[in-house]
Amino acid sequence: MKVRDLVPWGRRKNADHAPALRFRGGRDHRQDRERPLDLFQDEMNDVFERFFRRFDAPSFDRFGGLFGGVPQPLVDVSETDKEIKIVVDLPGLDEDDIDVSVTGNLLTVRGERREERDEDERGFVVHERTIGTFYRSIPLPPGIDPDKAKAEFKRGVLKVRIPKTADAAGHTKRIEVKAA
């Protein structure tokens, strides 16, 4: 940890230098497992950031102001020995509004949430929900078979399940270390 990191101001501005998955408050559990001390440090950082964020930019709302206003739905990735599951929150959309594709090791979800209001309902008191097009790419781990991906959309939640390939499923290769 550098001394500079102790100064909380402006740290969020460097967020784009963070590893690909460490943004928008998400937590990469693979790192947690490998480096438990980082988990503690992250938690402390979160406490500081939550406090100082109030003074920093006016509003980094959940649908990332960091990304030039392109709405970013919340994403969750988990796995079993046989498959991985990507869950994306897309409340208020219909399945026809959502486009899911896999290119290389990137899963891309894009779509549009339309405003469904009549003209006479426009007197907004509170407006927190995001409308418009959104776009989110999620890096996929190696050893999966995107051709067999299945997606379902239910109650405003998109679930994509991708099976792992036979090679990757359930076995980790251990490498023996020999004394030289």
Partner 1 sequence: MSADLVRQDREENVTRLDDHRSVPVYRPDTDIYDDGDRVIIEADLPGCSVDDIDITLENGVLTIKSQQPRQSRSGWRPIYTEYGEGRFERSFALTDDIDQDKIDASVRNGVLRLELHRSESTKPRRISISAK
User: Interface residues with partner 1 (CB under 8 A)?
Assistant: 21, 24-30, 50, 54, 62, 74-80, 84-85, 87, 89-94, 117, 120-130, 141, 155-157
Of 126, 131, 146, 35, the residue nearest 86 (C-alpha):
146
| Shortest distance in whole angstroms from residue 151 CB to partner 1 | 15
Which is closer to partner 1, CB of 9 or CB of 124?
124
**Which phi and psi angles does 106 have, rounded to 5°?**
-115, 130
Residue 39 near residue 22 (C-beta atoms within 8 A):
no
Which is closer to partner 1, CB of 3 or CB of 125?
125
| Shortest distance in whole angstroms from residue 5 CB to partner 1 | 22
| Shortest distance in whole angstroms from residue 1 CB to partner 1 | 23
Name the helix (H) or strand (E) containing 43.
Answer: helix 36-52
| Shortest distance in whole angstroms from residue 130 CB to partner 1 | 8
- Counting other chains too, the contacts that 44-52 makes at CB distance below 8 Å and 24 or more residues apart are 45/11, 48/8, 49/8, 49/11, 49/12, 51/8, 52/8, 52/9
Which is closer to partner 1, CB of 120 or CB of 147?
120
